[in-house]
């Protein structure tokens, strides 16, 4: 049975006090969710938020981790450090990391391996930019992203991977993929997973949609058979909006 999930990605928003306040509101509101709920917070929030959410169904994710195990990498945060905060997930491959911090397939491959080796579950993001969609290359792009960074994993490792399809042209733009575009791509991604790991594993793989998913369009997106939930940016910063999305799942 595949897990349905709504995950938040706070990105670089909220100072520590604001982040703790939002997590406190969510803890109060999310008692018995009908899907898995994860919030991705900045590194410095992780320990406080994970402690606060002990005993809550809400799990905590980092938004990144280093591509090196440990040592002289000033300013970096390792997967082991993330895990030691109580966080259970790590978002990797987000398009903002790829575009602004030049994270390529090889770097992401290392990050995924380190996250898994340290007991983290990975939410791995893939998706095409506008020009690629306009050129009809979206399938090619996501296939390469999967092959380049996660299709090296064993089936056992794969059990700790959640995929997030995030068309870059939809992120933070207010432009959402239509439910049909989302379904088509999610079904395609699932077919690639099936080729690599078999039908059963593909059927069990959670594939989230991300990109201007909000309290208004979530239900329609989640109604598609291959859309298992959402990775939510902007709308995850407001407790009522995030709650409405969880309730739509
Ligand atoms: P958005 O971001 O919901 O603000 O578009 C989604 C994401 O980047 O994960």
Find the 71 Cα to ligand 1 centroid distance in Å: 32
Q: Please give the average per-residue pLDDT across 178-191, as a whole number.
A: 97
**Stretch 188-199: mean pLDDT, rounded?**
98
CA of 95, closest atom in ligand 1: 8
Which residues make Cβ contacts (< 8 Å) with residue 104, sequence separation at least 6? 98, 148
Cα(115) to centroid of ligand 1, in Å? 22
Q: Which two tokens stand for residue 139?
A: 């399938």
Predicted pLDDT at 101: 98
The secondary structure of residue 172, as a DSSP letter, is T
Residue with CA nearest ligand 1 atom 6: 233
Kindly list the catalytic residues. 94, 166
Sequence-distant (6+) residues with CB within 8 A of 8 are 38, 39, 40, 231, 232, 233, 236, 237, 242
Residue 78: C-alpha distances to residues 16, 45, 85 (Å): 20, 15, 11
Interatomic CA distance for residues 247 and 229, integer angstroms: 11
pLDDT of residue 1 exceeding 90, the answer is no
Q: Across all residues in the chain, what is the average pLDDT? A: 97
Supply the pTM of this predicted model.
0.98
More reliable by pLDDT, 175 or 160: 160
198 CA → ligand 1 middle, Å: 30
Atom of ligand 1 nearest to the CA of 11: 8
> How is the chain split among helix, strand and coil, in percent rounded to 5?
45, 15, 35
Please choose, from the candidates 196, 190, 111, the residue with its C-alpha nearest in 3D space to the C-alpha of residue 151.
196
Exposure string (b/e) for 151-160, b if CB count within 10 Å is 16 or more?
A: bebeeeebeb
As for ligand 1, residues whose beta carbon falls within 6 Å of it are 9, 166, 171-172, 210-213, 231-235
User: What is the predicted pLDDT for the residue at 175?
Assistant: 86
Residue whose Cα lies nearest atom 7 of ligand 1: it is 233
pLDDT at 174 over 90: no
Rounded to the nearest whole angstrom, what is the distance from the C-alpha of residue 80 to the centroid of ligand 1? Answer: 26
pLDDT in tens, 101-126: 999 999 999 999 999 999 999 999 99
Q: Which run of H or of E encompasses 204? A: helix 199-204
pLDDT tens per residue, range 47-59: 999 999 999 999 9
Taking the CA of residue 214 as reference, the ligand 1 atom at the shortest distance is 3
Which protein residue's CA is at the shortest distance from atom 3 of ligand 1? 233
Rounded Cα distance between 37 and 243, Å, is 10
Q: Which atom of ligand 1 is the closest one to the Cα of 232?
A: 3
Q: What percent of the chain has pLDDT over 90?
A: 97
The mean per-residue pLDDT over the stretch 239-244 comes to 97
Ligand 1 atom 1 nearest Cα? 233
Identify the H or E element spanning 164: strand 161-165
Question: CA dist 12 to 15, 50, 170, Å?
Answer: 9, 18, 18
CATH code given to domain 5-248? 3.20.20.70
pLDDT confidence band for 14 (50 / 70 / 90): very high
User: How far, in Å, from the CA of 161 to the mean position of ligand 1?
Assistant: 19
Q: Give residue limits of the domains in the chain.
A: 5-248
Percent share of the chain, pLDDT over 70? 100
């Amino acid at each position: 049975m595949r897990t349905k999930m709504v995950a938040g990605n706070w990105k670089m928003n909220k100072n520590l006090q604001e982040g703790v306040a939002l997590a406190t509101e969510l803890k109060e509101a999310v008692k018995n969710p009908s899907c898995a709920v994860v919030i991705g917070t900045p590194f410095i929030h992780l320990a406080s938020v994970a402690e606060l959410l002990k005993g809550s169904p809400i799990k905590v994710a980092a938004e990144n981790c280093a591509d090196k195990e440990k040592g002289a990498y000033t300013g970096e945060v390792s997967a082991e450090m993330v895990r030691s905060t109580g966080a259970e997930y790590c978002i990797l491959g987000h398009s903002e990391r790829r575009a602004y911090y030049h994270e390529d397939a090889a770097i992401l491959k290392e990050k995924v391996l380190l996250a898994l080796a340290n007991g983290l579950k990975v939410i791995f993001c893939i998706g095409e930019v506008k020009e690629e969609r306009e050129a009809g290359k979206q399938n090619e792009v996501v296939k390469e992203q999967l092959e380049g960074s996660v299709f090296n994993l064993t089936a056992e490792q794969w059990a700790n991977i959640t995929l997030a399809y995030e068309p870059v042209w939809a992120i933070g733009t207010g432009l959402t993929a239509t439910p049909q575009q989302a379904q088509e791509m999610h079904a395609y991604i699932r077919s690639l997973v099936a080729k690599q790991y078999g039908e059963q594993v593909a059927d069990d793989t959670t594939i989230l949609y991300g990109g201007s998913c909000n309290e208004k369009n979530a239900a329609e997106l989640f109604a598609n058979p291959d859309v298992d939930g959402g990775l939510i940016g902007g709308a995850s910063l407001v407790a009522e909006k995030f709650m409405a999305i969880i309730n739509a799942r």
